[in-house]
Amino acid sequence: MSSKNSGVAERYAAALFELAHEGKLLDQVAAEAKALKAMMAESADLRRFLTSPIFSRAVQEKAIGALAVKAEFSDLMRRFLGLVARQRRLTALGAMLDAFAHRLAVLRGELVATVVAAQPLSDQALADIKAALTKTAGGKVALSVEVDPGLLGGLVVRVGSRMLDSSLKTKLQHLKLAMKGVG
């Protein structure tokens, strides 16, 4: 994510967080954000729709509004998604939801861990990862999950400034470097 998108994501997430906090809707909006992130992780079509400049502002606003209604999102989340679509910021929606989750985790005193996988992880796999991280960190852990097919397999886990990379992509890069050194 570019630093420009990062700043945009932080501003939008801060606004959503403040409104949810004032309206005592933090838990509901957090659940909706998690559900939306899951939809984005599971649907390549949705990811393409959100990142494609081909669709007009009106089409994106109408479609994201229909998605929010079908998912039975709160009025706050519907208005937020409508604003994001109107402002042509849907490309940063995933980062906005992550930033919102991060703010909520900080409020709750949780450590935020980002897990990047080549494909969507099962609920059991996520529970196992969370349990292992909770044991290692010695406190509550909030997971942010991303899907990056470019990893080919395995996981990348980031907790604060620490990173564990067990992705197939990295292993192949290391093997390539090792083979270049031979001969």
Report pLDDT for 41.
84
Residue extent(s) of CATH 1.10.520.20 domains in the chain = 1-108
Within 23-148, where are the H helices? 26-42, 44-51, 57-70, 75-86, 93-107, 123-137
Average pLDDT in the chain: 89
Which residue, 107, 106, 117, 124, is CA-closest to 41?
117
Report pLDDT for 1.
46
* Better pLDDT: 21 or 112: 21
Which phi and psi (to 5°) does residue 7 adopt?
-65, -40
Report pLDDT for 2.
47
CB–CB of 111/159 below 8 Å?
A: yes
CB–CB of 12/81 below 8 Å?
A: no
Q: Is the pLDDT of residue 141 over 90?
A: no
Percent of the chain with pLDDT over 70: 96
CATH number of 1-108: 1.10.520.20
pLDDT in tens, 86-140: 999 999 999 999 899 989 988 988 888 889 998 888 889 999 999 998 898 888 8
What are the residues facing 142 on neighbouring strands?
112
* C-alpha span between 85 and 46 (Å, rounded): 14
Which residue, 32, 34, 39, 47, is CA-closest to 77?
32
* Better pLDDT: 160 or 40: 40
pLDDT in tens, 47-78: 899 989 899 999 999 999 999 999 999 999 99
Q: Is the pLDDT of residue 19 over 90?
A: yes
Report residue 146 CA to chain centroid gap: 5
